[in-house]
Amino acid sequence: MRQRSIIAITAALAAGSLTLTACGSRDDDGGSSNGDKTTVVIGLDAPLSGDLSALGLGMKNSADLAAKTANKKEFVKGVEFKIEALDDQAQPSVGQQNAQKFISNKDVLGVVGPLNSSVSQQMQKPLNDAGLTQVSPANTGTELTQGDGWKTGDRVRQFKTFFRTATTDEIQGAFAADYLFNKAKLKKVYLIDDQKTYGAGLAASFKANFTKFGGKIVGTDHINPDDRDFNAVVAKIKKTGAQALYYGGEYPAAGPLSQQLKDSGQNIPLMGGDGIYSGEFPKLNKKAEGDLATSVGRPVEQLPSAKTFIADYKAAGYEDDYEAYGGLTYDATWAIIEAVKLAVEGNDGKVPSDGRKAVLDGMAKVKFDGVTGTISFDEFGDTTNHTMTAYKIKDNAWAPEFSGEPKLG
Amino acid sequence: MNELPQQLANGLILGAMYGLIAIGYTMVYGIVQLINFAHGEIFMVGGFGALTVWMVLPDGFGLGAAVPLMIIGGVLVSVAVGTAAERFAYRPLRGAPRLAPLITAIGLSIVLQQAVWMWFPDAKKDVPFPRFQGDPVDILGANIQRGDLFVLIAAPLCMIALGLFVNKTRSGRGMQATAQDPDTAKLMGINTDRIIVMAFAIGAAFAAVAAVAYGLKNGQVGFQMGFLMGLKAFTAAVLGGIGNIYGAMLGGIVLGVAESLATGYIGDIPGMDLFGGGAWKDVWAFALLILVLLFRPQGLLGERVADRA
């Protein structure tokens, strides 16, 4: 009796697992049919939990909004877009697993994301090997597109499948240096970064440009982004007479860092990149007044092209704000949608059997007026839009101060 | 301004917080030889318990008056979670191989993190915690924030209370007896199960006080904050001699001050500028731990049974 039931259970398990495997293997027709429409899946990878989830959830919703808008408008005839969102927890290893999941799903013709440059470094290669287009709305690490040689002018495109709607840290750091030295007239800056790809790259570019302008870096330090107590670092800044603190990193650590800086009696601003340009920053930091951040493009709120985006986002009733990368994510998703459109139009109105290749070919030709300005990509896959904006905290919220293209030092 | 008093004060404040959390590790270890790796999360839920109290209090309620209530709220939540963990996660495994409760502890900490993540409003990211406004106080050349005064007062008070409890009360003596020899203690009529629950509860209550201090100090709490703080507190407990309650506090303070001084000064030593600074402070803290354990494997104050709580 007992033996028989074991056999029965084993058989049931085997049957079950076979059924599951069968579900997993699909015909390679470039998309499964959904009535008379073909479903095209766009993968989205972002931190949907953890410290940076405010930014990640804003990205997820914005990508979702782009897909819904395309479906509603029937932007690509006969194609229904669907977003598959995966959480990378801001961890490179998880991002790599997610990349594999996207690759193994034949319906995925493009991937939007991730947020962190360090995560992207692990996703680029597998996606490139699979010929799957990736458009990051937030990765600003310069070497992601141009290789480590960018510092010496030896620029080489790294991966043919990688594109981004965010500009590079080289430009972002230069813009911040330009702003602090030439606009705010501050000559002595203390430099801190969190040693991640994004933070360290940003700090390096800031340092190079700031010293070229003639400014002085009066001290440097690194912090652990998981820490929340920076009093020891802050005490060191005091004796250097710094007029500002430039921080390469993200808002979860920048908030307490800025607060503890002001607590220690040093009334100097903290400036950072788009990683601190989040609504969470002033929420977590009661002394943020006067702090500065740079972000890509013109302020979404000022652009006529963004009005519809903001209205649609509100109308869709998402629980979370679109945050720093909402507009750029919408544009990144839309770039893939445009590429799918080009692919479908070039194939008699059907999704080509080799959809991934067709989308990748289409990316070079993509050009449209997006939420953040005109979107197109240069020979490295970088956005051609170099406009940046400096924001300042006024009355506990980010207010745009100055927009322009950076003067490289 | 001279930097040294400031760095010492920073280290002392941080260390007092580590020490308060470390008590929980050390008491539980002293009595059941279990390293409760979920203790960092018990600290974390205490912070959210205190924050809940603050959120339900009417607007205009002064923070000074709210803090005692917040402590009570945090302690209630931490103690409830701590004792429930003992009852449902550890007691069924008593007598099982050492590895089993350790794995349960890790599982439990993930469960607690995810529970807060899912159910506490907005806790998917760091949540603002109220802070004391007003200028810092100058004590012997160091700027001390108003919020930081809390931990400087609370830590010694907690230690005195704990010392009195362990040495002067029946339950406290029962605790010492159980720590020395659980089986004999049981034969002598001590309800060892009750003693163990008590050790978990006291540890959890101290962790909740530390969590209030953490919130007041940093102005935020987050569902992930237990990991790093728990690890540091565990290190402090080992540094001071695990099982020894005074050792836990001493270990915490030594660790905090070491971190502060390493950040402040190691970079200034010629040739060491690459290894100084905030990112390296954990390396120096653990180097210190290894050094202490090399020369004094039992920790600074020792972990001899007779010294145990």
Using CA atoms, how far apart are residues B119 and B117, in angstroms rounded to an integer?
Answer: 6
User: Are the C-beta atoms of A380 and A171 separated by less than 8 Å?
Assistant: no
**A76 or B60, which is more confident?**
A76
Average pLDDT (B276-298) is: 86
Helix, strand, coil shares, percent, chain A, to 5: 45, 20, 35
In the block, residue with structure tokens 């220690």? A264
pLDDT at A301: 75
* Interface membership of B138 toward A (CB under 8 Å): no
Is the pLDDT at B305 greater than 70, yes or no? no
State the pairing for strand pair B137-139/B142-144: antiparallel
Q: What is the DSSP secondary-structure string of A35-92?
A: TTEEEEEEEEEE--SSTTHHHHHHHHHHHHHHHHHHHHHT-STTEEEEEEEEE-TT-H
pLDDT at B303: 66
* Interface membership of B267 toward A (CB under 8 Å): yes
Phi, psi for A392 (deg, rounded to 5): -130, 145
Q: Which of residues 117-146 of A touch B (CB under 8 A)?
A: none
Residue of chain B with shortest Cα separation from A220: B277
**Are the Cβ atoms of B143 and A53 closer than 8 angstroms?**
no
Of A57, A229, A286, the CB nearest to B131: A286
In this prediction, residue B307 has a pLDDT band, given cuts at 50, 70 and 90, of very low
**Are the Cβ atoms of B264 and A255 closer than 8 angstroms?**
no
* Interface membership of B145 toward A (CB under 8 Å): yes
A7's CB contacts (< 8 A; 6+ apart) are: none
* Measured torsion, CA atoms of residues B204, B205, B207, B213, in degrees rounded to the nearest 10: 160
What is the predicted ipTM? 0.84
Number of Cβ within 10 Å of residue B286's Cβ equals: 15
**Are the Cβ atoms of B278 and A285 closer than 8 angstroms?**
no
Average pLDDT (B36-59) is: 95
**Are the Cβ atoms of A222 and B125 closer than 8 angstroms?**
no
pLDDT at A24: 40
pLDDT at A184: 94
**Are the Cβ atoms of B1 and A228 closer than 8 angstroms?**
no
**Are the Cβ atoms of B279 and A223 closer than 8 angstroms?**
yes
Average pLDDT (B32-51) is: 95
The first and second tokens of residue A356, run together, are 């991934």
Chain A: give the shortest CA distance to residue B160, in Å.
27
Chain B: give the shortest CA distance to residue A254, in Å.
12
User: Are the C-beta atoms of A36 and A349 separated by less than 8 Å?
Assistant: no
In this prediction, residue B309 has a pLDDT band, given cuts at 50, 70 and 90, of very low
* Interface membership of A230 toward B (CB under 8 Å): yes
Which residues of A fall within a CB distance of 8 Å from B125? Answer: 50-54, 252, 280
Residue of chain A with shortest Cα separation from B8: A232
**Are the Cβ atoms of B282 and A256 closer than 8 angstroms?**
no
* Interface membership of B165 toward A (CB under 8 Å): no
Ranges of chain A whose pLDDT falls below 70: 1-35, 408-409
Average pLDDT (B103-114) is: 94
Which residues of B fall within a CB distance of 8 Å from A221? Answer: 267, 276-279
State the pairing for strand pair A270-272/A244-248: parallel
Tell me what percent of the residues of chain B surpass a pLDDT of 90.
66
**Are the Cβ atoms of A232 and B125 closer than 8 angstroms?**
no
**Are the Cβ atoms of A224 and B282 closer than 8 angstroms?**
yes
Which of the residues B2, B17, B43, B126 would you substitute to probe the A interface, choosing the one with the greatest number of A C-beta atoms within 10 Å? B126
Which residues of B fall within a CB distance of 8 Å from A265? Answer: 136, 143
**Are the Cβ atoms of A280 and B267 closer than 8 angstroms?**
no
User: Are the C-beta atoms of B79 and B64 separated by less than 8 Å?
Assistant: no
Q: Which of A77-86, A289-298, B90-99, B262-271 has the lowest mean pLDDT?
A: B262-271
Q: Which of residues 270-289 of A touch B (CB under 8 A)?
A: 280, 283-286
My answer on whether omega of the bond before A299 falls inside 30° of 0, hence cis, is no
Q: What's CA A23's distance to the chain center, in Å?
A: 32
3-state secondary structure of A123: helix
Is the pLDDT at B306 greater than 70, yes or no? no
Average pLDDT (B214-218) is: 93
Encode pLDDT of B134-153 as tens digits.
888 888 888 898 889 999 99
Is the pLDDT at B67 greater than 80, yes or no? yes
Encode pLDDT of A189-224 as tens digits.
999 999 888 899 899 999 999 999 999 999 999 999
Average pLDDT (B96-117) is: 92
Which residues of A fall within a CB distance of 8 Å from B261? Answer: 232
Of B11, B136, B218, the CB nearest to A256: B218
Number of A–B residue contacts, CB under 8 Å: 109
In the block, residue with structure tokens 């440009």? A209
3-class DSSP string for B43-65: HHHHHHHHHHHHHHCCCCCCHHH
**Are the Cβ atoms of B222 and A51 closer than 8 angstroms?**
yes
pLDDT at A215: 96
pLDDT at B108: 95
**Are the Cβ atoms of B259 and A236 closer than 8 angstroms?**
no
In the block, residue with structure tokens 């993930």? B110
pLDDT at B135: 83
Residue of chain B with shortest Cα separation from A234: B264
Predicted model pTM: 0.81
Q: Which of residues 189-248 of B touch A (CB under 8 A)?
A: 214, 217-220, 222, 224-225, 227-228
In the block, residue with structure tokens 């005074």? B246
pLDDT at B237: 94
Chain A: give the shortest CA distance to residue B78, in Å.
21
